Amino acid sequence: MAVLLVTSSVALLYYTKYQQEVTNNENYIGDLDSALNSYRSLSNSFNASLQDYNETLSLLTSAVADLNTSTPAYGDASIALATLWKDYQALDSASGRRAIVYEVNMLLDFGNGTRRWYNDTSIQPGWNGYVVTLVLLDGRVQATWYPQYGEHYVTGLGGVSDTQSDYWFLLTYNKTASWQVAQLGADDISMFNDTTIGWVYCPENSNYAPTCALP
Amino acid sequence: MRTSYAVAIVAVFTSMIIGSDFALAGIANFKLMDTFVFIVAYAFGFKPGAAVAVLSETVWSVVSPWGQAGELAPFLIGGELLFAFAGWAASKVWGAERKAVSPTAIFIGATLTICAFLWDLETNAAVGLLGGAKSLAAYLGYEAMGVPFMIPHELGDFALGMLFAPVAILMVSRFRKVV
């Protein structure tokens, strides 16, 4: 009788404990569901924010490409653009997805033996040669904007400005013709995957062509 | 010229200019605007030509895919009137065009090139003015930097003036007789 009483008491105790655990478990499941919903909502908000970020970058790029280069807004925006683009790529990478980007290459030849390559650099589709140069050089581009032609005349890159004798020349590259002096301004050069452009700083001849050897 | 007829001419040519400007936006500094303004002024007189020049340049200064021209717009519009004046003056010199291909075509091309050159000089000076140029050397600098952009503009105007304008003037003149 005593054994039966003890066994029953133990069984009752453990049943009570079991019920408590079941209740706790249900609470945890509820909390987890709630947390999961919050996470999904946060994730959706993050993705929406990234999309907004992307659109803002596109708008800022358009503004920088069309702003008068002598305005303070242009100076601020062109410097900020490079930083914002890097931040965007970091955030986008953290989100686990990969935005559609083009990989392009740019060469900066200072004409004194110093060459700086920007290889496989990610850019936003739609950027032209001028915007790419601006972003890769962190805004260190001097130029005059001619709204009537929709073109920039570049007078300085990476802290080196045109002089009476030396100028920056824009080059294009393809595998068959190698490097050629661009027939279009940087604004008119569309950048696609694997597009390569270059800038070379050197004197010009009487035909306004660079006198130095192309890379 | 009847008012309704003049309004129709201005509206049609302005629309064609804006449409073609967008269509040709991908080709650097190659536009039909100058040639169309010249053609209208040649075929219909200075006033319709000037109206087309002012309207089309005003609209383009706002809706251009390269952004709004802003303070430069009055200079662009004023410069475009050159083409209207040249078209009207050319019609007084050469009269009604009767052949699509004639030596006059070269002169029309040359006239448009000179107008494009003056337009480029004036607008580049305006860029200098708005950019804060204070000396003659600074203005000349702005003009010099604009040269790479001026060349395709002037070559384009010469080609269109020589090849397209005489044909268009002939067609428009025939259409005018029908109306």
CATH code at A116?
A: 2.170.130.30
pLDDT at B138 over 70: yes
Domain end call among A98, A125, A149: A98
Domain end call among A98, A119, A150: A98
- A142 and A59 fall within a common domain: no
- ipTM > 0.90 (yes/no): no
pLDDT at A134 over 60: yes
- Any CB–CB contact under 8 A between A150 and chain B? yes
How many domains does chain B divide into?
Answer: 1
Which pLDDT tens digit goes with each residue over A21-45?
Answer: 999 999 999 999 999 999 999 988 9
- A129 and A170 fall within a common domain: yes
The pLDDT > 90 percentage for chain A reads 51
Which residue of chain B has the CA closest to A150? B66
Give A133's pLDDT tier (boundaries 50, 70, 90): very high
Which pLDDT tens digit goes with each residue over A77-125?
Answer: 888 898 899 888 888 888 777 778 899 999 999 988 899 999 999 999 9
Joined tokens for residue B31: 């536009």
Q: Is A68 in Cβ contact with B130 (below 8 Å)? A: yes
How many domains does chain A divide into?
Answer: 2
- A74 and A107 fall within a common domain: no
Element (H, E) at B134: none
Domain end call among A51, A66, A98: A98
- A69 and A114 fall within a common domain: no
- A11 and A78 fall within a common domain: yes
- A43 and A15 fall within a common domain: yes
Q: Is A62 in Cβ contact with B127 (below 8 Å)? A: no
pLDDT in the model for residue A152? 92
- A110 and A214 fall within a common domain: yes
Which pLDDT tens digit goes with each residue over B9-33?
Answer: 999 999 999 999 999 888 878 889 9
The residues near A77 (Cβ < 8 Å, ≥ 6 apart) are: A60, A63, A64, A67
pLDDT in the model for residue A180? 92
Q: Which residues of B touch A148 (CB under 8 A)?
A: 69, 72, 76, 123, 127
pLDDT at B131 over 80: yes
Domain limits for position A197? 100-215
More confident residue, B50 or B28: B50
- A113 and A204 fall within a common domain: yes
pLDDT mean over B47-73: 91
pLDDT at A148 over 80: yes
Domain limits for position B100? 3-178
pLDDT in the model for residue A135? 92
Joined tokens for residue B75: 């200079």
- A153 and A131 fall within a common domain: yes
CATH code at B75?
A: 1.10.1760.20
The pLDDT > 90 percentage for chain B reads 64
